[in-house]
Amino acid sequence: MTSSASSAVQEARRTLGKRLREIRQAAGFTTARALAARAGWHESKSSRIENGVTLPSETDIRVWAEVCSAEDQVSELVAMARGIEEMYVDWRRLERAGLRHVQASVLPLYERTHRFRFYQSWVVPGLLQTPGYTCSVLETVASLREAPGDIADAVAVRMARQNVLHSAGRRFAFLVEEWVLRTVIGNGETMAAQLGRLITTASFPSVSLGVIPMGVPRGRAWPTESFSIFDDDQVGVELVSAHLNVRQPDGIAEYVRTFAELAGIAVYGAQARKLITSAIDALE
Protein backbone atom coordinates (compact mmCIF):
# COMPACT_ATOMS: atom_id res chain seq x y z
CA MET A 1 0.00 0.00 0.00
CA THR A 2 1.39 3.47 -0.87
CA SER A 3 1.87 6.09 1.83
CA SER A 4 -1.15 8.11 0.67
CA ALA A 5 -3.34 5.00 0.56
CA SER A 6 -2.12 3.88 3.96
CA SER A 7 -2.73 7.29 5.51
CA ALA A 8 -6.30 7.44 4.15
CA VAL A 9 -7.21 4.04 5.59
CA GLN A 10 -5.46 4.79 8.88
CA GLU A 11 -7.21 8.14 9.24
CA ALA A 12 -10.58 6.46 8.71
CA ARG A 13 -9.77 3.89 11.40
CA ARG A 14 -8.74 6.63 13.81
CA THR A 15 -12.00 8.50 13.16
CA LEU A 16 -14.03 5.40 14.06
CA GLY A 17 -11.80 4.79 17.10
CA LYS A 18 -12.35 8.34 18.31
CA ARG A 19 -16.11 7.89 18.00
CA LEU A 20 -15.97 4.69 20.06
CA ARG A 21 -13.78 6.40 22.67
CA GLU A 22 -16.37 9.15 23.06
CA ILE A 23 -19.10 6.53 23.55
CA ARG A 24 -16.97 4.73 26.14
CA GLN A 25 -16.26 7.94 28.07
CA ALA A 26 -19.91 9.00 27.96
CA ALA A 27 -20.81 5.64 29.53
CA GLY A 28 -18.50 6.31 32.47
CA PHE A 29 -15.62 4.00 31.59
CA THR A 30 -12.57 6.12 32.36
CA THR A 31 -10.11 3.83 30.58
CA ALA A 32 -10.15 1.52 27.57
CA ARG A 33 -8.90 -1.25 29.86
CA ALA A 34 -12.02 -0.92 32.03
CA LEU A 35 -14.27 -1.40 29.00
CA ALA A 36 -12.22 -4.41 27.86
CA ALA A 37 -12.64 -5.99 31.28
CA ARG A 38 -16.42 -5.54 31.16
CA ALA A 39 -16.56 -6.94 27.63
CA GLY A 40 -14.39 -9.94 28.50
CA TRP A 41 -11.63 -8.95 26.07
CA HIS A 42 -7.86 -8.87 26.37
CA GLU A 43 -6.95 -5.67 28.20
CA SER A 44 -5.26 -4.11 25.14
CA LYS A 45 -8.04 -4.79 22.61
CA SER A 46 -10.12 -1.67 23.32
CA SER A 47 -7.01 0.52 23.19
CA ARG A 48 -6.00 -0.89 19.80
CA ILE A 49 -9.49 -0.20 18.44
CA GLU A 50 -9.61 3.35 19.81
CA ASN A 51 -6.19 4.17 18.33
CA GLY A 52 -7.05 2.84 14.88
CA VAL A 53 -4.60 -0.07 15.10
CA THR A 54 -7.37 -2.68 14.84
CA LEU A 55 -10.58 -2.38 12.84
CA PRO A 56 -13.43 -3.67 15.01
CA SER A 57 -15.67 -6.41 13.65
CA GLU A 58 -19.45 -6.03 13.66
CA THR A 59 -19.55 -8.28 16.72
CA ASP A 60 -16.99 -6.05 18.47
CA ILE A 61 -19.11 -2.98 17.76
CA ARG A 62 -22.29 -4.60 19.05
CA VAL A 63 -20.55 -5.68 22.25
CA TRP A 64 -19.07 -2.18 22.71
CA ALA A 65 -22.46 -0.57 22.23
CA GLU A 66 -24.19 -3.02 24.58
CA VAL A 67 -21.60 -2.48 27.35
CA CYS A 68 -21.96 1.30 26.94
CA SER A 69 -25.78 1.23 26.59
CA ALA A 70 -25.47 2.78 23.13
CA GLU A 71 -27.38 0.21 21.09
CA ASP A 72 -29.08 3.00 19.14
CA GLN A 73 -25.72 3.83 17.50
CA VAL A 74 -24.89 0.33 16.29
CA SER A 75 -26.19 0.77 12.72
CA GLU A 76 -24.17 3.92 12.09
CA LEU A 77 -21.01 2.47 13.64
CA VAL A 78 -21.30 -0.75 11.65
CA ALA A 79 -21.76 1.29 8.45
CA MET A 80 -18.59 3.23 9.24
CA ALA A 81 -16.64 0.00 9.80
CA ARG A 82 -17.94 -1.53 6.56
CA GLY A 83 -16.96 1.62 4.68
CA ILE A 84 -13.42 1.36 6.00
CA GLU A 85 -13.23 -2.32 5.10
CA GLU A 86 -14.36 -1.48 1.56
CA MET A 87 -11.76 1.28 1.20
CA TYR A 88 -8.94 -1.14 0.49
CA VAL A 89 -9.96 -4.05 -1.73
CA ASP A 90 -7.44 -6.61 -2.93
CA TRP A 91 -7.56 -6.97 -6.73
CA ARG A 92 -7.65 -10.77 -6.52
CA ARG A 93 -10.65 -10.61 -4.22
CA LEU A 94 -12.35 -8.04 -6.46
CA GLU A 95 -11.74 -10.05 -9.62
CA ARG A 96 -12.76 -13.39 -8.15
CA ALA A 97 -16.23 -13.08 -9.73
CA GLY A 98 -14.73 -12.23 -13.12
CA LEU A 99 -13.37 -9.23 -15.01
CA ARG A 100 -16.80 -8.44 -16.42
CA HIS A 101 -18.12 -8.10 -12.87
CA VAL A 102 -15.37 -5.60 -12.03
CA GLN A 103 -16.21 -3.47 -15.07
CA ALA A 104 -19.96 -3.60 -14.41
CA SER A 105 -19.62 -2.81 -10.70
CA VAL A 106 -18.65 0.83 -11.36
CA LEU A 107 -21.49 1.62 -13.77
CA PRO A 108 -23.76 3.17 -11.08
CA LEU A 109 -20.90 5.44 -10.01
CA TYR A 110 -20.33 6.64 -13.58
CA GLU A 111 -24.04 7.17 -14.14
CA ARG A 112 -24.45 9.47 -11.13
CA THR A 113 -21.21 11.44 -11.63
CA HIS A 114 -21.21 14.75 -13.52
CA ARG A 115 -17.61 15.89 -13.19
CA PHE A 116 -14.87 13.36 -13.89
CA ARG A 117 -11.13 13.87 -13.32
CA PHE A 118 -8.71 11.11 -14.28
CA TYR A 119 -4.94 10.94 -13.85
CA GLN A 120 -3.10 7.99 -15.38
CA SER A 121 0.57 7.20 -14.93
CA TRP A 122 0.24 3.58 -16.12
CA VAL A 123 -2.13 3.18 -19.08
CA VAL A 124 -4.60 5.19 -21.16
CA PRO A 125 -7.74 6.00 -19.09
CA GLY A 126 -10.48 3.41 -19.54
CA LEU A 127 -13.03 5.86 -20.96
CA LEU A 128 -10.59 6.65 -23.81
CA GLN A 129 -9.48 3.11 -24.63
CA THR A 130 -10.10 1.27 -27.89
CA PRO A 131 -11.42 -2.32 -27.77
CA GLY A 132 -8.04 -3.67 -28.86
CA TYR A 133 -6.14 -1.74 -26.20
CA THR A 134 -8.58 -2.77 -23.47
CA CYS A 135 -8.32 -6.39 -24.56
CA SER A 136 -4.52 -6.26 -24.29
CA VAL A 137 -4.68 -4.63 -20.85
CA LEU A 138 -7.15 -7.19 -19.50
CA GLU A 139 -5.23 -10.11 -20.98
CA THR A 140 -2.22 -8.94 -18.98
CA VAL A 141 -4.34 -8.52 -15.84
CA ALA A 142 -5.81 -12.01 -16.21
CA SER A 143 -2.34 -13.50 -16.68
CA LEU A 144 -0.65 -11.68 -13.80
CA ARG A 145 -3.41 -12.15 -11.25
CA GLU A 146 -4.84 -15.45 -12.50
CA ALA A 147 -8.25 -13.80 -12.92
CA PRO A 148 -11.16 -15.48 -14.76
CA GLY A 149 -10.74 -15.23 -18.52
CA ASP A 150 -14.04 -13.53 -19.41
CA ILE A 151 -12.11 -10.88 -21.31
CA ALA A 152 -14.46 -10.42 -24.28
CA ASP A 153 -17.41 -9.77 -21.96
CA ALA A 154 -15.34 -7.38 -19.84
CA VAL A 155 -14.24 -5.43 -22.94
CA ALA A 156 -17.86 -5.12 -24.08
CA VAL A 157 -18.92 -3.69 -20.70
CA ARG A 158 -16.06 -1.17 -20.69
CA MET A 159 -16.91 -0.05 -24.22
CA ALA A 160 -20.57 0.38 -23.22
CA ARG A 161 -19.46 2.46 -20.24
CA GLN A 162 -17.89 4.94 -22.66
CA ASN A 163 -21.38 6.09 -23.67
CA VAL A 164 -21.17 8.43 -20.68
CA LEU A 165 -18.82 10.60 -22.77
CA HIS A 166 -21.80 11.57 -24.90
CA SER A 167 -24.18 12.27 -22.00
CA ALA A 168 -25.35 15.85 -21.56
CA GLY A 169 -24.28 17.83 -18.52
CA ARG A 170 -21.03 15.99 -17.89
CA ARG A 171 -17.42 17.22 -17.96
CA PHE A 172 -14.26 15.14 -18.30
CA ALA A 173 -10.67 16.11 -17.52
CA PHE A 174 -7.96 13.57 -18.39
CA LEU A 175 -4.28 13.81 -17.49
CA VAL A 176 -1.73 11.27 -18.73
CA GLU A 177 2.02 11.11 -18.41
CA GLU A 178 3.80 11.20 -21.76
CA TRP A 179 5.37 7.81 -21.13
CA VAL A 180 1.87 6.33 -21.20
CA LEU A 181 1.78 7.34 -24.87
CA ARG A 182 5.16 5.70 -25.44
CA THR A 183 4.44 2.43 -23.64
CA VAL A 184 3.37 -0.12 -26.25
CA ILE A 185 0.37 -2.13 -25.04
CA GLY A 186 -0.48 -5.02 -27.32
CA ASN A 187 1.44 -4.29 -30.52
CA GLY A 188 2.26 -1.32 -32.74
CA GLU A 189 -1.04 -1.50 -34.61
CA THR A 190 -3.04 -1.60 -31.37
CA MET A 191 -1.07 1.31 -29.98
CA ALA A 192 -1.39 3.43 -33.13
CA ALA A 193 -5.17 3.00 -33.12
CA GLN A 194 -5.27 3.92 -29.44
CA LEU A 195 -3.25 7.10 -29.92
CA GLY A 196 -5.48 8.07 -32.84
CA ARG A 197 -8.48 7.63 -30.56
CA LEU A 198 -6.94 10.08 -28.09
CA ILE A 199 -6.69 12.75 -30.77
CA THR A 200 -10.32 12.19 -31.77
CA THR A 201 -11.71 12.20 -28.24
CA ALA A 202 -9.76 15.31 -27.25
CA SER A 203 -11.89 17.26 -29.73
CA PHE A 204 -15.12 16.53 -27.85
CA PRO A 205 -16.53 19.74 -26.30
CA SER A 206 -16.92 18.13 -22.87
CA VAL A 207 -13.40 16.66 -22.80
CA SER A 208 -10.10 18.18 -21.68
CA LEU A 209 -7.00 16.09 -22.38
CA GLY A 210 -3.69 17.09 -20.86
CA VAL A 211 -0.34 15.39 -21.40
CA ILE A 212 2.50 15.84 -18.89
CA PRO A 213 5.69 15.95 -20.99
CA MET A 214 8.71 13.90 -20.06
CA GLY A 215 11.49 16.15 -18.82
CA VAL A 216 9.20 18.92 -17.55
CA PRO A 217 10.28 20.33 -14.15
CA ARG A 218 7.98 18.62 -11.69
CA GLY A 219 8.03 20.94 -8.69
CA ARG A 220 5.45 19.48 -6.28
CA ALA A 221 3.59 17.65 -9.09
CA TRP A 222 5.35 14.34 -8.69
CA PRO A 223 4.19 11.25 -10.60
CA THR A 224 1.90 9.20 -8.40
CA GLU A 225 -0.49 6.28 -8.47
CA SER A 226 -3.26 6.51 -11.05
CA PHE A 227 -6.50 7.88 -9.61
CA SER A 228 -10.00 9.00 -10.60
CA ILE A 229 -12.09 11.73 -8.93
CA PHE A 230 -15.87 11.48 -9.19
CA ASP A 231 -17.43 14.90 -8.54
CA ASP A 232 -16.06 15.80 -5.09
CA ASP A 233 -17.61 12.71 -3.51
CA GLN A 234 -15.23 9.82 -4.10
CA VAL A 235 -11.75 8.97 -5.35
CA GLY A 236 -10.71 5.63 -6.80
CA VAL A 237 -6.99 4.82 -6.61
CA GLU A 238 -5.26 2.07 -8.58
CA LEU A 239 -2.54 0.30 -6.60
CA VAL A 240 -0.44 -2.65 -7.72
CA SER A 241 -2.20 -5.10 -5.41
CA ALA A 242 -5.50 -3.42 -4.62
CA HIS A 243 -8.08 -0.75 -5.35
CA LEU A 244 -8.57 2.06 -2.85
CA ASN A 245 -11.87 3.92 -2.41
CA VAL A 246 -11.45 7.29 -0.69
CA ARG A 247 -14.58 8.92 0.70
CA GLN A 248 -13.14 10.93 3.60
CA PRO A 249 -13.30 14.71 2.85
CA ASP A 250 -9.65 15.25 3.81
CA GLY A 251 -8.49 12.41 1.60
CA ILE A 252 -10.56 13.62 -1.35
CA ALA A 253 -9.20 17.14 -0.91
CA GLU A 254 -5.64 15.79 -1.07
CA TYR A 255 -6.28 14.11 -4.42
CA VAL A 256 -8.11 17.17 -5.78
CA ARG A 257 -5.08 19.29 -4.87
CA THR A 258 -2.71 16.77 -6.46
CA PHE A 259 -4.77 16.74 -9.65
CA ALA A 260 -4.64 20.54 -9.86
CA GLU A 261 -0.85 20.52 -9.42
CA LEU A 262 -0.42 17.88 -12.14
CA ALA A 263 -2.79 19.76 -14.44
CA GLY A 264 -0.63 22.84 -14.01
CA ILE A 265 2.39 21.24 -15.71
CA ALA A 266 0.44 19.47 -18.49
CA VAL A 267 0.11 20.71 -22.07
CA TYR A 268 -3.16 20.83 -23.96
CA GLY A 269 -4.57 21.37 -27.46
CA ALA A 270 -1.99 21.57 -30.24
CA GLN A 271 0.90 20.88 -27.87
CA ALA A 272 -0.74 17.71 -26.58
CA ARG A 273 -1.55 16.58 -30.12
CA LYS A 274 2.09 17.11 -31.07
CA LEU A 275 3.21 14.74 -28.31
CA ILE A 276 0.62 12.15 -29.37
CA THR A 277 1.57 12.30 -33.06
CA SER A 278 5.23 12.08 -32.09
CA ALA A 279 4.44 8.85 -30.23
CA ILE A 280 2.63 7.56 -33.34
CA ASP A 281 5.64 8.43 -35.51
CA ALA A 282 7.91 6.57 -33.10
CA LEU A 283 5.84 3.43 -33.66
CA GLU A 284 6.41 3.66 -37.40
* pLDDT exceeds cutoff 80 at 91: no
Domain ranges of the chain: 3-87, 98-283
Q: Can you tell me the distance from the alpha carbon of 139 to that of 151, in angstroms, rounded to the nearest whole number?
A: 7
Over the stretch 29-59, which tens digit does the pLDDT of each residue have? 999 999 999 999 998 999 999 999 999 999 9
Q: Confidence class of residue 1 from pLDDT cuts 50, 70 and 90?
A: very low
Whole-angstrom CA distances from 236 to 67, 144, 169, 229 are 37, 21, 22, 7
Superfamily of domain 98-283 in CATH is Endonuclease Chain A (3.30.870.10)
At 130 the pLDDT is: 98
Q: Which residues contact 134 (CB under 8 A, 6 or more apart)?
A: 126, 154, 155, 158, 159
Distance of CA 61 to the CA centre of its chain: 27
Asked: is 3-87 a CATH 1.10.260.40 domain? The reply is yes
Beta bridge partners of 227: 119, 237
CATH fold match for the domains 3-87 and 98-283? no
* pLDDT exceeds cutoff 60 at 171: yes
Region of 98 please: left (phi>0), alpha (psi -120 to 50) or beta: left
Q: Which residues contact 32 (CB under 8 A, 6 or more apart)?
A: 21, 24, 46, 47, 49, 50
Distance of CA 88 to the CA centre of its chain: 9
Average pLDDT over residues 236-260: 85
Over the stretch 92-131, which tens digit does the pLDDT of each residue have? 677 777 888 889 989 999 999 999 999 999 999 999 999 9
